[in-house]
């Protein structure tokens, strides 16, 4: 699953992390990868020792998949159920990734598809979650292409709602991508706007499988371990909403899976 958004600041990374910890807490072997190479943040959320190799290194062909994975533990979680791969947060690495050309992007997609195969077939993972960069960065498009389901997170800003609709209509329909929509940081009256209703209706978005919402929970980033919040505060509205999403993903994963994506099927696409 790719967790994506049109704009930054929607809470996408916090949602990605909490979905991963919820799935791992259910006994599912789960991998969470930071695909936001221009503004990496998962390393700050999880506060664990940094890896010897970054996701950047794997995408550059410099290491094997196992080298980028760090096992994460928290209370009540079985050993080796949650693994995280971090993007390199150094200025030099961000500058390098922002300068990649189209040829490298296609090679990166091939490596991403190979990574999927390694994780699911070779390392027996049950779930893979990509925390993507907002907007139409190449890394986000690659992650969406490689995923069975995309969870698109939107805020209440009118420009974000309009941009989200356009992105789903223009980009996601190209790939026939099964899409779930999550309105985050919902304020009173937000869900009554015409832009929200258009998105929720799925009109013009035939691949929209469900939509959900989370009320404003701006205190969560201040929590001691915000990436484990949904597991440790099970009765909060935030936790209940993410549990519902995790349940839908787990229950319908095989039914909702998109056709197998290969590099050959992506040849000729121009974004």
CB atoms within 10 A of CB 10: 25
The pLDDT value recorded for residue 258 is 43
The pLDDT value recorded for residue 251 is 67
The pLDDT value recorded for residue 220 is 86
Give the residue from 83, 80, 68, 72 showing the smallest Cα distance to 32.
83
Phi, psi dihedral angles at 212 (to 5 degrees): -145, 175
Q: Which residue has the higher pLDDT, 253 or 93?
A: 93
Look up the CATH superfamily of 2-255: P-loop containing nucleotide triphosphate hydrolases (3.40.50.300)
Q: Which residue has the higher pLDDT, 262 or 43?
A: 43
DSSP 35-58: E-SSS--HHHHH--PPPSS-HHHH
Residue 254 has pLDDT above 80, yes or no: no
Give the pLDDT band (50/70/90) at residue 245.
confident
> For the chain, what are the domain ranges?
2-255
Residue 121 has pLDDT above 90, yes or no: yes
**Per-residue model confidence as pLDDT tens digits over 167-198:** 988 888 788 888 889 999 887 777 778 888 88
Residue 259 has pLDDT above 70, yes or no: no
What torsion, rounded to 10 degrees, do the Cα atoms 92, 50, 117, 28 define? -140
**Per-residue model confidence as pLDDT tens digits over 73-115:** 887 778 889 999 999 999 999 999 999 998 999 899 999 999 9
Residue 51 has pLDDT above 60, yes or no: yes
Distance CA 197, CA 199 (A): 5
Residue 129 has pLDDT above 90, yes or no: yes
CB 246 within 8 Å of CB 23: yes
Highest average pLDDT, of 30-39, 166-175, 244-253, comes from 30-39
CB 32 within 8 Å of CB 47: no
């Amino acid at each position: 699953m790719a967790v994506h958004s049109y704009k930054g600041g929607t809470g996408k990374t916090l949602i990605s992390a909490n979905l991963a910890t919820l799935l791992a807490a259910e006994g599912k072997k789960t991998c969470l990868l930071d695909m936001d190479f221009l503004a990496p943040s998962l390393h700050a959320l999880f506060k664990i020792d940094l890896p010897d190799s970054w996701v950047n290194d794997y995408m550059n062909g410099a290491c094997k998949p196992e080298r980028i994975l760090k096992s994460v533990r928290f209370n009540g979680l079985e050993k080796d159920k949650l693994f995280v791969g971090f993007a390199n947060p150094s200025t030099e690495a961000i500058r390098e990734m922002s300068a990649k050309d189209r040829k490298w992007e296609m090679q990166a997609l091939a490596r991403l598809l190979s990574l999927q195969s390694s994780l699911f077939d070779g390392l027996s993972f049950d779930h893979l979650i990509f925390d993507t960069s907002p907007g139409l960065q190449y890394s986000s498009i690659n992650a969406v292409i490689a995923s069975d389901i995309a969870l698109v997170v939107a805020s209440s800003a009118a420009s974000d709602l309009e941009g989200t609709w356009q992105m789903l209509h223009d980009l996601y329909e190209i790939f026939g991508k099964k899409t779930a929509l999550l309105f985050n940081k919902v304020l009173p009256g937000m869900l009554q706007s015409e832009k929200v209703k258009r998105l929720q209706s799925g009109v013009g978005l035939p691949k929209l499988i469900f939509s959900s919402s989370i009320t404003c929970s701006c205190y969560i980033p201040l929590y001691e371990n915000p990436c484990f919040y949904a597991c440790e505060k099970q009765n909060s509205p935030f936790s209940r909403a993410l549990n519902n999403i995790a349940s839908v993903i787990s229950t319908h994963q095989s039914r909702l899976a998109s056709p197998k994506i290969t590099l050959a099927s992506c040849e000729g696409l121009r974004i």
